[in-house]
């Protein structure tokens, strides 16, 4: 999701109380000279993780679900479900209702239209018994290679055609989301299981992912699903290697 959806905020708070506010890695707290207000300035930071597809076994219960492939209307039709899933988390939490919906449509459209890389056939929408969407997983293909290098996560030129049929590129878990009332029931695990199975069939051995470091719910979900945290890209240790 674009950084432009993380908007600066001004809140009424004293400098003494501001020091008691828990710090978030994605925000900088600045007390203003009037002694009554503060600015919260966004500084989004991301973490990267990898899932070994060959060793992966679904942890815990994965709900049995019906699925269908994504279609061209899904970025707009699934946007309310996306907001339902992520609306309480940054950056959507800081937006009003219309902005949340616009941000969701933009994020899903960017993924579907290939701005994050070609869409994998492992991408599906989960359906209820009456065929209503419960959630979705959107897998795109990034360049891969040296994941500590600048050209591994974004295509600097248009991606070649037919990547997945040749087992090229690296799968990236761009979005996975589940309706709020169906979270913690195994739908997310089932969506990931479907994606892993399809990616294995295509010859892939790893699945990459990206998440905001201050999003504890996402971080814990990735950890529980078996993703292994990668080194910080600007780590001095890596720069010495």
pLDDT of the chain along its 241 residues, tens only? 667 888 888 999 999 999 998 887 778 899 999 999 999 888 888 889 999 999 999 887 777 889 999 999 999 999 999 999 988 887 888 889 999 999 999 999 999 999 989 999 999 999 999 999 999 999 999 999 888 777 888 898 889 889 999 999 999 999 999 999 998 889 999 999 999 999 999 999 999 999 887 777 888 888 999 999 887 655 555 455 4
Domain enclosing residue 163, as ranges: 45-240
**Number of domains within the chain:** 2
Q: Are residues 69 and 159 in the same domain?
A: yes
Q: Is 98 exposed, middle or buried (0-12, 13-18, 19+ CB in 10 A)?
A: exposed
Q: Are residues 25 and 103 in the same domain?
A: no
What's the CA angle centered on 150, arms 148 and 154, to 5 degrees? 110
Token digits of residue 131: 């065929």
- Measure CA 178 to chain center: 12
User: For residues 127 and 152, what is the distance between their CA atoms, to the nearest angstrom?
Assistant: 33
Q: Are residues 23 and 97 in the same domain?
A: no
The b/e string for 107-124 (b: 16+ C-beta within 10 A; e otherwise) is bbebbbeeebbbbbebbb
Last residue of a domain, one of 27, 42, 57: 42
Q: Which pLDDT score, from 0 to 100, does residue 137 have?
A: 97
């Amino acid at each position: 999701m674009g950084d432009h959806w993380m908007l600066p905020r001004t809140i009424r708070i004293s400098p003494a109380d501001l020091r008691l506010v828990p710090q978030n890695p994605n925000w900088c707290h600045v007390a203003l000279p009037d002694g009554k207000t503060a600015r919260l300035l966004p500084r989004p930071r991301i973490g990267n993780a990898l899932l070994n597809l060959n060793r992966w076994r679904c942890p815990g219960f994965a709900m049995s679900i019906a699925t269908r492939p994504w279609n061209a209307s899904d970025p707009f039709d699934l946007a309310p479900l996306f907001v339902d899933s992520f609306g309480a988390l940054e950056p959507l939490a800081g937006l009003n209702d219309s902005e949340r919906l616009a941000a969701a449509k933009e994020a899903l459209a960017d993924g579907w239209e290939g701005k994050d890389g070609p869409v994998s056939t492992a991408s599906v929408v989960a359906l209820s018994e009456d065929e209503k969407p419960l959630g979705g997983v959107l897998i795109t293909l990034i360049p891969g290679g040296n994941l500590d290098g600048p050209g591994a996560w974004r295509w600097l030129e248009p991606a070649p055609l037919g990547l997945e049929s040749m087992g090229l590129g690296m799968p990236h878990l761009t979005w996975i989301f589940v309706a709020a009332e169906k979270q913690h029931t195994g739908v997310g695990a089932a969506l990931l299981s479907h994606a892993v199975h399809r990616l294995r069939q295509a010859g892939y051995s790893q699945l990459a992912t990206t998440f905001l470091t201050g999003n504890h719910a996402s971080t814990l979900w990735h950890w529980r699903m078996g993703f292994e945290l990668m080194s910080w890209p600007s780590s001095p240790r890596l720069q010495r290697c």
